[in-house]
Amino acid sequence: MIKAKIVDYRVSCSDDSPLRALVPESVLTDGEKIKPMLNRRLSSLGKRTVALMNELAVDDRLPVVWLSRYGDLARTARLMHSVARSEPLSPIDFSLSVQNAEPGIYSIATEDEQPIVAMSCVKYRAYSAFLEAYGIMREQQADVLIVFAEQSIPDEYRKVTTSEVEDVAIVVRLTHTDADHLKLSELRNLDDEQNFESFLRWLVDHSEP
């Protein structure tokens, strides 16, 4: 058990996603967009994810744990096509293809100087993110935003993976408590390798009413 609890969370997914039926309508929001000049640099999913982060953080400056299995593969694919055709690389695609690019834009837009940890894993996604966030929360004595951002896989990469990934963003605000609230072992036992269904069910059960 850890001395932490979930303050609130937000989810963004497609209108026909089965994930929508698993969570209350109140968490399926559009969030609060950041400044247009920075917002336009983000991918479609990045825009939605950062807007949810901005909504949950309110005006607080919070550490961020950002987890994405593959990152922005669409940008990577465009870069690889440019290399194959001996064309100049897009400066924007190149600079934003790294794992911490989109949370970095969020920190610039909100003037948030708190730590950002960008992670990538296939198995134990929720467990890994919450474990990292709990360590940061204890060290920084501050709430932490836990962010899951997954994009659908471009056709170029579908030949080399069996993963079924849909566009989805989940943002959770974790806070410290004086009593034990959450069991990390429950997260470690979740089957979240393919999708977030089991994690969202867990999230609904462990969130504040």
> 208 pLDDT band (50/70/90 cuts)?
low
Q: Strand pairing of 144-150 and 168-176?
A: antiparallel
Per-residue model confidence (pLDDT) at position 162: 65
The contacts of residue 78 (CB under 8 Å, 6+ apart) are 90, 93
Q: For residue 65, how many other CB atoms are within 10 A of its CB?
A: 27
Q: pLDDT digits over 11-59, tens only?
A: 999 999 999 999 999 999 999 999 999 999 998 899 999 999 999 999 8
Residue 115's pLDDT band, with cuts at 50, 70 and 90, is: very high
pLDDT at 199 over 60: yes
- pLDDT at residue 187 is higher than 70: yes
pLDDT score for 209: 52
Report pTM. 0.90
- What are the sequence ranges of the domains in the chain? 4-205
Q: What CATH number was assigned to the domain covering residues 4-205? A: 3.40.47
Q: What is the pLDDT of residue 26?
A: 94
Choice between 97 and 4, residue whose per-residue pLDDT is larger: 4
CA angle 168, 171, 172 (to 5 degrees): 140
Task: Determine the Cα–Cα distance for residues 168 and 49; give it in Å rounded to an integer.
Answer: 8
pLDDT digit string (tens) for 13-26? 999 999 999 999 99
Beta pairing class for 116-119 and 144-150: unpaired
Distance CA 97, CA 90 (A): 10
CB atoms closer than 10 angstroms to residue 143: 19
- Closest residue by Cα to residue 105 from 165, 47, 176, 25: 47
